Amino acid sequence: MTNPSTRPTSTNNAVSDDVVIRTENVSVYYGAFQAVRNVYLDIPKNKVVAFIGPSGCGKSTLLRCYNRLNDLIPSARVDGKITYQGIDLYDPKVDPVEVRRRIGMVFQRPNPFPKSIYENIAFGARVNGYKGDMDELVERSLRGAALWEEVKDKLKQSGLSLSGGQQQRLCIARTIAIEPEVILMDEPCSALDPISTLRVEDLMHDLKQRFTIIIVTHNMQQASRVADLTGFFNAEAGEGGSRFGYLVEYDRTEHIFNAPKEQATQDYVSGRFG
Amino acid sequence: MSSSNQTDQINSNVYDIAPGEFDQGMTQGRKMFGNVMTGLVLSCVAIAVLPLASILFMLLSNGLVRLFQDFPSVFTELPPPPLVDGGGFRNAITGTLLTCLLGALISVPFGVLTAIYTVEFGQGNKLSQFVRFCTNVLSGVPSIIAGLFAYGIVVLAMGTFSAIAGGVALSVLMMPIIIRTTEEGLKSIPREVRQGLVGIGATNFQGVSSVILPASLPFVATGVTLALARAAGETAPLLFTALFNQYDSRGLREPIATLSVLIYNYAIAPYKNQNELAWAAALIVVLLILAISILARSLTSKKIY
């Protein structure tokens, strides 16, 4: 068993830019079960960071710590420290609703609200106290999500009437409309066909000019296509036989895929397991 | 018996049939058994439907004549005194509508808000579990107890039987239906949508008021109509709350006639005309409930999730 509590190497050369989110010795528990153990990881500004790894390695769990979505699970508990722009996200004085306004999220299954396309975007903005020109914001957000041309003539139609890929881009538009600093994406393409997947990936390249993106994916090609940095997570059986996830290696994407330092990473990216 | 013998037996003569051969006799027997069982089930279905069919038949054969004979007058006239022919029961129709409306006005806000609490805010905590348990108990409470309750808190307090008391009694019966269907509607909203709401930074209140509740409205509407259907046919809780009124009620603080109490009073009256009016009123009540139920079904089909 490798020692998962050691800091993964090479974060220093990988992360030289401004750090938006800093993860220090973070462990996540569901009740007595430890899902993620001792993660150190820094997210630099305006980069796409991918989390890859086999199922049950805790990458989605960690992602959900960044916008305090795990708060919705009563038994979940986060140890260690996660800071956003130097602010401790789990400080009792921090309101989780405020966290989610600064750190947006796109989910695995497209989940537009049962409202019109226009309202799907306007609702999020209104909730966050947007006072400006709503028509302009809706258009700008839909353009930002590469959806405007397809829906500009049917903004009054229900968001649920769109195809899966369009729905997911609507969800991205909804997220960028509230202008968060970081966008979390939890396997955003796993429910989409390959063409829709490509469109969303293209979109990520554009979005990183303005946002920092963290994406969890099962698809290694996707990670290598979109990510500047990649973190490889693995699961291991701890004492008592329960499995916990940990960060094996975190580096520039090309290093992870071409010259990983850890054998487990090498095995995973070359398809020998997982 | 050795194991090789056993294998032999399984291979050769357990089913007593050679390859390429169909055993007609056995198939016949199985088919027969199947048909008999199907027949048995069908006859059970017939027995179950029989009461409903015969009720409808009785109502139609006894009530329809009166409805057609004096077509508009049953709806527009007041009940006649004994031994006078003709007349109608417009006061009971308006009374049923009014007491049901009052019941809905009380039970809808409380019922919907209760369901919102137990599903969206309480989320399985002790209080919401307790409330859910109470709802189940309440739905099993005999309707006459609801009438007693309204008698105790409204009739005694006001010193008179009244439409308000009838409405309160009906609202007690409507509440559990509305709570349950609203809860179902709220639970039907997928977890993904709830997470999406959290993800854009909506507070629980914002999410419920602008997305989750509007999306569950078809369920709420279904619950309200089902509750109205239940209330429209109730007699016991109205007997000593709304009481009865031979004439049009002049206000909410007066006794008021309802179809169900009119049926009760006139069916046991020793006058032929009154008995006929009771039949006609019974038919009207059943048709009303049927119409409301159809409305409820069509509302349910509008659901989003």
Are residues A114 and B199, on separate chains, in Cβ contact within 8 Å?
Answer: no
Q: Does position B127 have pLDDT exceeding 50, yes or no?
A: yes
Interface test mutation site (partner B, options A113, A123, A187, max chain B beta carbons within 10 A):
A113
How many Å is the Cα radius of gyration of chain A?
19
Q: Does position A256 have pLDDT exceeding 50, yes or no?
A: yes
Q: What percent of chain B has pLDDT over 70?
A: 95
Size of chain B in residues = 305
Sign of CA dihedral B49, B50, B54, B60: positive
Task: Choose between A230 and B77: higher pLDDT.
Answer: A230
Tokens of B26: 């056995």
Which pLDDT band, with edges at 50, 70 and 90, does B66 fall under?
A: confident
Distance from CA of A177 to the nearest CA of B (A): 9
Domain, as residue range, for A106:
11-113+180-269
The answer to whether position A171 is within a domain reads: no
* Least trusted range by pLDDT, from B32-46, B77-91, B175-189: B77-91
Contact status, residue B170 vs residue B101, Cβ threshold 8 Å: no
The answer to whether position A53 is within a domain reads: yes
Going through A85-195 in order, the beta strands assigned E by DSSP cover 87-88, 103-106, 182-186
Q: Which residues of A touch B192 (CB under 8 A)?
A: 107, 109, 111
Residue of A nearest to B304 (CA): A114
Q: Does position A152 have pLDDT exceeding 80, yes or no?
A: yes
Q: Which residues of A touch B120 (CB under 8 A)?
A: none
Sign of CA dihedral A17, A22, A27, A28: negative
Give the pLDDT mean for B217-223: 92
Are residues B195 and A178, on separate chains, in Cβ contact within 8 Å?
Answer: no
State the Cα–Cα distance between residues A20 and A83, nearest whole angstrom. 8
Q: Does position A139 have pLDDT exceeding 90, yes or no?
A: yes
Crossing angle of helices B90-116 and B213-232, in 10° steps, is: 140
The answer to whether position A132 is within a domain reads: no
Which pLDDT band, with edges at 50, 70 and 90, does B74 fall under?
A: confident
Tokens of A92: 């009792």
* Least trusted range by pLDDT, from A13-17, A158-162, B89-93, B121-125: A13-17
Helix, strand or coil, per DSSP, at residue B205: helix
Which pLDDT score is estimated for B257?
A: 94
DSSP A160: G
Helix, strand, coil percentages in chain A from 3-state DSSP, rounded to 5? 35, 25, 35
Bridge partners of A232, per DSSP, are A52, A249
Q: Does position A12 have pLDDT exceeding 80, yes or no?
A: no
Interface of B with A (CB under 8 A): 190, 192-193, 195-203, 206, 210-211, 214-215, 304-305
Are residues B196 and A115, on separate chains, in Cβ contact within 8 Å?
Answer: no
Do the bridges between strand A76-84 and strand A19-30 make them parallel or antiparallel, or are there none, so unpaired?
antiparallel
| Mean pLDDT estimate for chain B | 89
φ, ψ (nearest 5 deg) of residue A216: -95, 130
Distance from CA of B121 to the nearest CA of A (A): 12
The answer to whether position A78 is within a domain reads: yes
Which pLDDT tens digit goes with each residue over A44-64?
A: 999 999 999 988 888 999 999
Are residues B200 and A104, on separate chains, in Cβ contact within 8 Å?
Answer: yes
Contact status, residue B172 vs residue B144, Cβ threshold 8 Å: no
Give the pLDDT mean for B54-68: 90
Give the pLDDT mean for B86-113: 94
Q: Which residues of B touch A105 (CB under 8 A)?
A: 195, 199
* Least trusted range by pLDDT, from A10-14, A217-221, B102-106, B220-224: A10-14
Residue of A nearest to B207 (CA): A127
Which pLDDT band, with edges at 50, 70 and 90, does A193 fall under?
A: confident
Q: Which residues of A touch B208 (CB under 8 A)?
A: none
Under CATH, to which class is B90-300 assigned?
A: mainly alpha
Give the pLDDT mean for A233-247: 84
- Spatial CB neighbours of A256, under 8 Å, sequence gap ≥ 6: A230, A232, A249, A265, A269
Q: Does position B153 have pLDDT exceeding 90, yes or no?
A: yes
Q: What percent of chain B has pLDDT over 90?
A: 70
- Using a 10 angstrom Cβ sphere, with 0-12 exposed, 13-18 middle and 19 or more buried, the burial of residue B14 is exposed
Q: Does position A272 have pLDDT exceeding 90, yes or no?
A: no
Are residues A111 and B203, on separate chains, in Cβ contact within 8 Å?
Answer: no
- CATH number for the domain that contains residue A237: 3.40.50.300
Sign of CA dihedral A207, A44, A245, A103: negative
Which pLDDT band, with edges at 50, 70 and 90, does A17 fall under?
A: low
Q: Which residues of A touch B210 (CB under 8 A)?
A: 123
- Spatial CB neighbours of B118, under 8 Å, sequence gap ≥ 6: B128, B131, B132, B179, B183
| Mean pLDDT estimate for chain A | 88
Tokens of B101: 């409306």
Give the pLDDT mean for A171-180: 93
DSSP A261: S
* Least trusted range by pLDDT, from B69-78, B209-218, B255-264: B69-78
Are residues A111 and B196, on separate chains, in Cβ contact within 8 Å?
Answer: yes
Q: Does position A269 have pLDDT exceeding 60, yes or no?
A: yes
**If contacts are CB pairs under 8 Å, which of residues 127-146 in chain A contact chain B?**
127-128
Which pLDDT band, with edges at 50, 70 and 90, does B218 fall under?
A: very high
Which pLDDT score is estimated for A1?
A: 41
Are residues A123 and B215, on separate chains, in Cβ contact within 8 Å?
Answer: no
**Hey, how many other C-beta atoms are within 10 angstroms of the C-beta on A251?**
24
Tokens of A83: 């800071």
Q: Which residues of B touch A114 (CB under 8 A)?
A: 193, 211, 214-215, 304-305
Q: Where are the alpha helices (DSSP H) in A19-67?
A: 59-66
Which pLDDT tens digit goes with each residue over A66-104?
A: 999 988 888 899 999 999 999 999 999 999 999 998 999
Q: Does position B5 have pLDDT exceeding 70, yes or no?
A: no
Which pLDDT tens digit goes with each residue over B19-43?
A: 777 777 777 888 899 999 999 999 9
Number of domains composing chain A: 1
Angle value at C-alpha B284, between B283 and B287, nearest 5 degrees: 85
Query: Nearest Cα to A155, choosing from A199, A116, A181, A194?
Result: A116
Are residues B197 and A113, on separate chains, in Cβ contact within 8 Å?
Answer: yes
Interface test mutation site (partner A, options B195, B197, B200, max chain A beta carbons within 10 A):
B200
Where exactly are the structural domains of chain B? 3-69, 90-300
Q: Does position A242 have pLDDT exceeding 50, yes or no?
A: yes
DSSP A258: H
Give the pLDDT mean for B155-162: 94
Are residues A175 and B198, on separate chains, in Cβ contact within 8 Å?
Answer: no
Which pLDDT score is estimated for B12?
A: 55
State the Cα–Cα distance between residues A239 and A148, nearest whole angstrom. 53
Give the pLDDT mean for B229-248: 92
